[in-house]
Structure 1
Amino acid sequence: MSSPPVAPPGWSRWLVPPAALSVHLSIGQAYAWSVFKPPLESALHLDGTQSALPFQLAIVMLGLSAAFGGTLVERNGPRWAMTVALVCFSSGFLISALGAQTQQYWLIVLGYGFVGGIGLGIGYISPVSTLMKWFPDRPGMATGIAIMGFGGGALIASPWSAQMLESFGTDHSGIALAFLVHGLAYAVFMTLGVLLVRVPRPDGRTESGTGAAGGVQVSARSALRTPQFWFLWVVLCTNVTAGIGILEKAAPMITDFFADSSTPVSVSAAAGFVALLSAANMTGRIGWSSTSDLIGRKNIYRVYLGVGALMYLALALFGDTSKPLFVLCALVVLSFYGGGFATVPAYLKDLFGTYQVGAIHGRLLTAWSTAGVLGPLIVNWIADRQEAAGKDGPALYGLSFSIMIGLLLVGFVANELIRPVHTRHHVPAPKEAPDAQREQPA
């Protein structure tokens, strides 16, 4: 498919973030998969591990497709990428609808997990470089607007999906109809982004600031050879691990911390706590990333990692003494978690320029995949071992919180070690860009 049409004279750059947001709000449905777990378990006689498989595969495919498809996204443009995301994500729901109707669970795994997961990855990175070309003056804000949609998509999808299941029924036919409506509705909504997206004119004023300071432009292949990429990989991985450590086990964690208090946390209150964390995750994406445009990317990651470590320390030492303190510390950590996702594309732009930043971003997201395994593993494995040893309450989490503090300090040091990219990695001149795009050494 051809690249998107170039914006005509007078085109407002503020039409581009809504185009990106239409894709990210749609694929953000992935965080609402849990709504479908109980009906699927009941209708298709699955256990909890089986019902989680489509989501787990989708996240794996998100990381893989972002890493391996990033260069294609850069080469073919945002409209091509958004179209691929639309086709894969919507088709995933349609295949899942067929699987639910015929009670063939492997089709749901194939559809939502494999096909839909490819749509997640391509859709996630599709608008990144385009947004930063339109907003060279505020790249953190621009990417934060779009990536906020991925964090907030579940806030729309959860009640919407629950209402559909209530209306259509929770048997296999009702689930199939809900999947069908999802696939068609998201196709229409994502089409708005496909039609709206534009790239700036080469001679336009917004394009003049495309590169980082000093005209830095680095190819994706060359970026992987720099220490800056790997330091930033460690930074993202440790920040995400710390956030997921709370997010994945939020409800049982706050229940355990105050189980022996005079006012234990109810099931509904724990659910409200999870909703608050989701809101912090979403608002942190736009708030902190916009702040990074004012104070700089290295400084904002000093806040994420340094203050994040202090929040974990406060939880470990005083978390069981005050519910407001526990909630406040967790909300701050989750806002840093979301902010880290939204700020990292702008950090990449500062280091490597916008030339192949989408492809570089896709490769960096393997840090997310690693953290997605590491965070829950640390917290759950240690909690299980402590429980087996006869401990309960806050004692279940003391060691895992200490590990999180250590990881955040490792990330803090990695951030301090990031320096400007050496000129030997730069693309020599714009006319050599096609050679670099074929990933010849710069």
Structure 2
Amino acid sequence: MPHPSSSDATAQGSPASSRLPLKRIYSKLMDYYSYTEYKPNPAQIERNRWPWMAIPAGFLILFCYGSVYAWSVFNSPINKALSNDPDKGRAETTFYIALGVLGVTGAIFGPWIESSHPLESGYIGMVMFFAGHLMAALAIHVKRFALLYFGYGFIAGIGLGIGYVSTIDASSKWWPRARGAAAGGAVMGFGGGALAFSYINKWLIGSYSLSSAFIILGAINISAMFVCIQFICPPPPGRNIEGVPVVDTSSEVRAALDRTARDSAPAKSSVTVSETQQSYYATTLATERPTIHISLGEALKSRDFWLLYVAFLANIVFCLVVLSNLPALINRLFGREGKVPHAPPLESHVAVSIEGAFNMSGRVLVGFMSDMIGRKTTFLILLIVQIVVLACIPMTITSGHFWPFLILIWIATLCYGGGFGMVPAFLSDISCHGVFLTAWSIASVGGGLTFTGIVNHYLSSGYKRYDTKPYNVNFAWMMALVAVGLVCCLLMRSSISDRMFPAAPNQILRIRIFGRMLRVLWVPAVVWPGVDCHIWRFGRLHLELLSKEQEKNIWEEYLRLYVEQQHHLQQETGSVV
């Protein structure tokens, strides 16, 4: 048989050969994002002498990084120095780029950050953030917006992403049972940066040249961060829980497991269950503390990840836009650039500082509240409050009421900060925190550019800067987005029991509403005998509202079967019970 020609062989082999590199790349990416555990050596564990310093040190580091939130103070001076048209708003784009790059950087380098010592990533983030300030100073000196975007937007944005994720990751892991309060305490510094640096930036601009202000600001930040980063270290092995425990380890749960093992196990089999086995059923969940830890690949296939992603994006987009535009909004709608120019009731840099205080306090207060009443309930409250705020703000600017407008902005900012304070704890069992921060990028770049584009469109159509129509249109689409986020949050399964709860036959949807579980079935629902169960029938579509007793029985039965499975698996592998 004649051999195929080389060209034929190449043609036949090319599809497989082209697919092979793609498979290798995909495999390497999955390996990179699947293994994020940090394994310190004995010397690194020995360095952890001041664990109580993790939160204050993390707060101060993020306080320095949070100076980016006071960027709005630089907008007007930079536009006047670098542009012939100061009203075009080119400096604002720098803020959007920086936060956009922050999220993408967290997604790309997140696994490396989580699997390495925070000193390594901390130093890199600190140096790049400082380099971004130096390049911003050079850009102002040579009057180049492109260099400003690259320096402060891109280079400093990379430093922000690396430094933010590494600090949050190390700080929150020291208190695994109070992740909301711990993460909120650390990220509170990020909001606090706007509070202090709005005054510092204002003073630097008034006392020095604009380019010198960036050099001095960068030097202040890198000096403070270098000292604080010496106290940032991860917890020793075994202290932090990878994922979230399946059940609580309280005495109430152990008693419920003991009752389930005692009452249910003998009824399921004619074989007598020994006291040793019963004890195993009752205590294994408490002693071994099995957890759920979802890898990135699994998270990307989970509807809960994407529902939370959209809800988080909806929660932050409004305030991200306002953070970079609040001075302009105050001056155009209520101040010196208004229809009747006059001094605003409150200077814009003071309003930005107070906004930073709400941002800062929201991060720790909401994080603590989520530890108390639950993450999903807290998130729903934040989104509902934002919808109310966005519905009321157009009325305040149309009627010219300054203080109600500003108070509503501050309330929304508290919700914004609260989302960031709660999300690290929310994500402890879902996926890499860095990947999730791409929502920050989308919200800052997409939201910011959309806001600016709509305003510029109306200005080019003949509207004046003080007209309310461009801003009301922006508030309308933002409110619609927050409403979508509210629906996503309602549909999200936030607790371990909700995610693991056994599905009924022919179930197409399960959702918890006001503490009760609702299951949607496409065929006639099965009525559990002896249990209060409400069913609404719409043809073949059935809605089943589980009672507390029914939900409890199903869940305890699932836990018993889970423990039995683990017990039999240990017996098969030769383990002794």
Q: Please report the TM-score for the alignment, with normalisation by the length of structure 1.
A: 0.79
Match of 1:366 in 2: 438
Is 1:269 matched up with 2:343?
no
Aligned runs of 1:148-163 on 2, under 5 Å?
A: 148-163=188-203
Is 1:299 matched up with 2:355?
no
Aligned AA (1:213) = P
Rounded Cα–Cα distance in structure 2 between residues aligned with 1:256 and 1:37: 14
1:247 CA drift (Å): 3.8
Contact 1:133-1:210 within 8 A present in 2 as well: no
Match of 2:223 in 1: 188
Q: Deviations over 1:109-130 (max 9, x none)?
A: 4432322221011111112232
CA RMSD of aligned residues (A): 3.5
Match of 1:213 in 2: 245
Rounded Cα–Cα distance in structure 2 between residues aligned with 1:319 and 1:194: 44
Match of 1:198, SS state, is coil
Contact 2:61-2:225 within 8 A present in 1 as well: yes
Match of 1:403 in 2: 477
Match of 1:439 in 2: none
Match of 1:142, SS state, is helix
Match of 1:29 in 2: 67
1:16 CA drift (Å): 0.3
1:178 CA drift (Å): 3.5
Q: Deviations over 1:133-189 (max 9, x none)?
A: 21112111111122121222133333333433444334xxxx2x4433333332221
Aligned runs of 1:30-45 on 2, under 5 Å?
A: 30-37=68-75, 40=78
Contact 1:6-1:199 within 8 A present in 2 as well: no
Rounded Cα–Cα distance in structure 2 between residues aligned with 1:59 and 1:367: 10
Larger mean CA deviation between 96-105 and 131-140 belongs to 96-105
Match of 2:492, SS state, is coil
Aligned AA (2:67) = Q
Cα 1:227–1:40 change in 2 (3 A) is same
Match of 1:202, SS state, is coil
Give the structure with the larger helix fraction.
1
1:328 to 394, 403, 407: 407
Contact 2:96-2:445 within 8 A present in 1 as well: no
1:347 to 426, 441, 453: 426
Match of 1:134, SS state, is coil
Rounded Cα–Cα distance in structure 2 between residues aligned with 1:318 and 1:95: 40
Is 1:112 matched up with 2:152?
yes
Match of 2:167 in 1: 127
1:325 CA drift (Å): 3.3
Match of 1:199, SS state, is coil
Cα 1:246–1:30 change in 2 (3 A) is closer
Match of 1:200, SS state, is coil
Match of 1:187, SS state, is helix
Give the structure with the larger strand fraction.
2
1:222 CA drift (Å): 2.8
Aligned AA (2:492) = I
Cα 1:188–1:320 change in 2 (3 A) is same
Is 1:241 matched up with 2:317?
yes
Aligned AA (1:236) = F
Larger mean CA deviation between 89-98 and 127-136 belongs to 89-98
Rounded Cα–Cα distance in structure 1 between residues aligned with 2:46 and 2:342: 57
Rounded Cα–Cα distance in structure 2 between residues aligned with 1:43 and 1:264: 23
Rounded Cα–Cα distance in structure 2 between residues aligned with 1:81 and 1:67: 14
Q: Which runs of 5+ in 1 are unaligned?
A: 424-442
Match of 2:553 in 1: none
Contact 1:20-1:127 within 8 A present in 2 as well: yes
Contact 1:58-1:112 within 8 A present in 2 as well: yes
Match of 1:294, SS state, is helix
Contact 1:383-1:397 within 8 A present in 2 as well: yes
1:302 CA drift (Å): 0.5
The percentage of counterpart residues that share the same residue type is 30
Aligned AA (1:367) = A
Q: Which runs of 5+ in 2 are unaligned?
A: 1-37, 247-290, 501-577
1:384 CA drift (Å): 5.4
Aligned AA (1:237) = L
1:347 CA drift (Å): 0.8
Rounded Cα–Cα distance in structure 2 between residues aligned with 1:346 and 1:289: 8
Match of 2:53 in 1: 15
Rounded Cα–Cα distance in structure 2 between residues aligned with 1:316 and 1:40: 29
Match of 2:173, SS state, is helix
Aligned AA (2:354) = L
Cα 1:416–1:46 change in 2 (3 A) is same
Rounded Cα–Cα distance in structure 2 between residues aligned with 1:181 and 1:385: 37
Contact 2:134-2:214 within 8 A present in 1 as well: yes
Kindly indicate whether structure 1 or structure 2 has the higher relative contact order, using CA contacts under 8 Å at least 6 residues apart.
1
Q: Deviations over 1:189-229 (max 9, x none)?
A: 111232111222224xx43x453131111223332222121
Cα 1:210–1:135 change in 2 (3 A) is farther
Aligned AA (1:61) = V
Rounded Cα–Cα distance in structure 2 between residues aligned with 1:119 and 1:290: 28
Q: Select the structure of larger CA radius of gyration.
A: 2
1:100 CA drift (Å): 5.4
Larger mean CA deviation between 2-11 and 135-144 belongs to 2-11
Q: Deviations over 1:292-346 (max 9, x none)?
A: 1111110111111112212222334566555443333222111111111221111
